[in-house]
Structure 1
């Protein structure tokens, strides 16, 4: 029974990924405003109804990869050794996460540029970032004993994500001249003096 559930989940994730990739490809080819859900469904080889079983709209489909990365980053923070400081755990998790995923150049830049141009994408991306901030704050807070209530996990999560946003914006504005990790490290080094 477990193997069939696992297989079913893998097939669902493969379908989600295929729809995401089709949305990204069509957006590059035709522009986000000219991409329809029907065209995405056709390109992914599924029906419009099947598309709706996976995503509420083309914004969700386009940002699916980012949402997967968000969950992976939070999981990585949670798995860091308990003796690390919260800021060290966030930085190490980012490094560990970056080593596991393919270089983000094209997709990161594309999603960020699109979000800056389309209010519906920006709204969805901001909602993703708000959820990530909350989840990262919870992951940081879980590293402390329950009796240690503090606003610090919220501040750390917000500062960390702000650093990443600044780094990604700089990287795009520099026209991808450097490796993303180099820009991220530069910004995180600046922020580290407050949290290490």
Structure 2
């Protein structure tokens, strides 16, 4: 039956996506906690409770696995945007979609000491040269997917119209600026309020302070 085949295909894809997420999260967690050079693929596979072969089926190495986390988050933002009410202003929908996906990071706060250690480890990981190329590729794919969601929402063409690609790039850059701001703050700062400020300024057209 075609419907049953579609359901099975959908289930397989969801399982694959869940495995990718689990492997990416395990890679990020271990590299932040122990340092890039101190984490092996074997360590990641063990932490995610899969075989090394399974890891290799999804990712070529640590850098690709970490970058996949950014791509997955942006894919969920695109999904969230598609699910928002059609009559909601676009930038309100985008702000809420971004907050929905970044909220777990705020909810997981483990106190100032934990935050500081995590921030220091995250900064070191993100500065790793081996990661830069993969992040660029993931960001390009993420912006393309978000542009499709923006185009569907606004009745534009993501392949030919400037608007959806521009919005996707601005959302990506604004989110990255918020994260970077929090990582470089003198004391641990929750991401949520910074994202609120970022999107408030974007919605207003970035007025001169």
Same-fold status (TM-score > 0.5) = yes
Across the two proteins, how many residue pairs are aligned to each other? 193
Q: How much does 1:186 deviate?
A: 1.1
Task: Tell me the equivalent position of 1:193.
Answer: 204
Q: How much does 1:135 deviate?
A: 1.3
Task: Tell me the equivalent position of 2:96.
Answer: 92
Counterpart contact for 1:20–1:65, Cα < 8 Å = yes
Deviation string, structure 1 residues 120-173 (Cα, Å, up to 9, x no partner): 212212222221211111111112336897312222221122111111111111
1:59 maps onto 2:59 in alignment: no
Structure 2 runs not aligned, ≥5 long: 110-114
- C-alpha separation between the residues in 2 aligned to 1:33 and 1:139? 38
23-32 vs 124-133, which deviates more?
23-32
**Higher normalized contact order (CA 8 Å, seq sep 6+, divided by chain length):** 2
Counterpart contact for 2:75–2:146, Cα < 8 Å = no
Counterpart contact for 1:87–1:156, Cα < 8 Å = no
Equivalent position to 2:80, from 76, 96, 103:
76
Counterpart contact for 1:168–1:180, Cα < 8 Å = yes
Counterpart contact for 1:140–1:153, Cα < 8 Å = yes
Specify whether residues 14 and 139 from structure 1 end up closer, same or farther in structure 2 by C-alpha distance, changes over 3 A only. Answer: closer
Specify whether residues 90 and 26 from structure 1 end up closer, same or farther in structure 2 by C-alpha distance, changes over 3 A only. Answer: closer
Counterpart contact for 2:70–2:139, Cα < 8 Å = no
Q: TM-score, normalised by structure 2?
A: 0.73
Q: In the TM superposition, what are the counterparts of 1:96-175 in structure 2 within 5 Å? A: 96-99=100-103, 101-103=104-106, 109=119, 110-111=121-122, 113-115=124-126, 117-145=127-155, 150-175=161-186
Q: How much does 1:13 deviate?
A: 5.4
Counterpart contact for 1:19–1:44, Cα < 8 Å = yes
Counterpart contact for 1:55–1:61, Cα < 8 Å = yes
Structure 1 runs not aligned, ≥5 long: none
Specify whether residues 162 and 186 from structure 1 end up closer, same or farther in structure 2 by C-alpha distance, changes over 3 A only. Answer: same
Deviation string, structure 1 residues 7-52 (Cα, Å, up to 9, x no partner): 7666655654553344234323431123222333344444332221
- C-alpha separation between the residues in 1 aligned to 2:190 and 2:66? 23
Task: Tell me the equivalent position of 2:112.
Answer: none
